[in-house]
Amino acid sequence: MRRLLTWLVAVVLAATSLVASGGPGLAAGRNQQQRGGDGMDGDIATAVTVVDRFWATHWNEFFMGRYSKPAVFGGYSSKGRKAPYCGIKRVDLNNAHYCPAGDYIAWDVDFMRRGYRYGDSWVYQVVAHEWGHAVQRRLIRSLVWNAYELQADCLAGATLYGAAEDGILRFEKGDVDELATAYDRLGDRTPWTNTSDHGTTAQRLSAFNRGAGGGVRACLPR
């Protein structure tokens, strides 16, 4: 387990809250070496840079072959830029997506904006989660959990906390609480039962924490 967990988090039964004992939280939108600009768009740009850099740096510590990043379509909305096609249909509004057919990530701008009201940690989690799906697509099937969405949450935790250990993501107090709020909004009301289910808030927090504490290897089948 990484020393980072000495202060990290706990999932508290039905309350399913993310708890930190006075420690720093997830990066609050400011990369020590890269700054993506002000506001939500800047934080998203920083998140994309940080997540891509983490995987480019560490890919061969865990996997064979050369790392390749997914394309980033970026934002779309019902009143602006149209949602992209994934196969024969457009991706849904009010969500974020990884499209295997096009190997890209995209997000509804309004979806991001609503979550961003609760803190900038939201966009980091969303980008890292969707990037986690891109990583899954690059793996052999035996390395992909049946709990597909929860593995992406685990990889998100491994990515963000790994980037912090690398020194490319700065932690600030209060961001762990923002993550708890994000997962409370993103979690389903029913437990994980098949590959398309995201799982309950408690399950998603547990998966994220597993990656945050154990790194990428903790997110792979044992």
**Which amino acid is it at 211?**
G
Whether 177 shows a pLDDT value over 70: the answer reads yes
pLDDT at 124 over 70: yes
Q: How distant is the alpha carbon of residue 16 from its chain centre? A: 18
Please say if the pLDDT value at position 197 is more than 60: no
- Min mean pLDDT across 4-13, 143-152, 175-184 is at 4-13
pLDDT band at 16 (very low <50, low <70, confident <90, very high): very low
- Own/partner long-range contacts of 13-22 (Cβ < 8 Å, ≥24 apart): 13/202, 14/202, 16/180, 16/183, 16/184, 16/187, 16/200, 16/201, 16/202, 16/205, 17/180, 18/176, 18/177, 18/179, 18/180, 18/183, 18/205, 18/209, 19/176, 19/180, 20/176, 20/177, 22/173
Q: Residue 5: count other Cβ atoms within 10 Å of its Cβ.
A: 13
Instruction: Return mean pLDDT, the chain.
Output: 79
Under a CB-based contact definition with an 8 Å cutoff, are residues 181 and 187 in contact? no
pLDDT at 174: 73
Residue 4 has pLDDT above 80, yes or no: no
Q: For position 203, what pLDDT does the model report?
A: 84
Tokens of 23: 């420690």
pLDDT over threshold 70, residue 212:
yes
Q: What pLDDT, on the 0 to 100 scale, is given for residue 15?
A: 26
Q: Please say if the pLDDT value at position 41 is more than 90.
A: yes
* 11-16 contacts, C-beta under 8 A, 24 or more apart: 11/202, 11/205, 11/206, 11/209, 13/202, 14/202, 16/180, 16/183, 16/184, 16/187, 16/200, 16/201, 16/202, 16/205
4-8, 122-126, 175-179, 217-221: which is most confident? 217-221
- Which pLDDT does position 141 carry in this prediction? 93
The residue-averaged pLDDT of 47-73 equals: 96
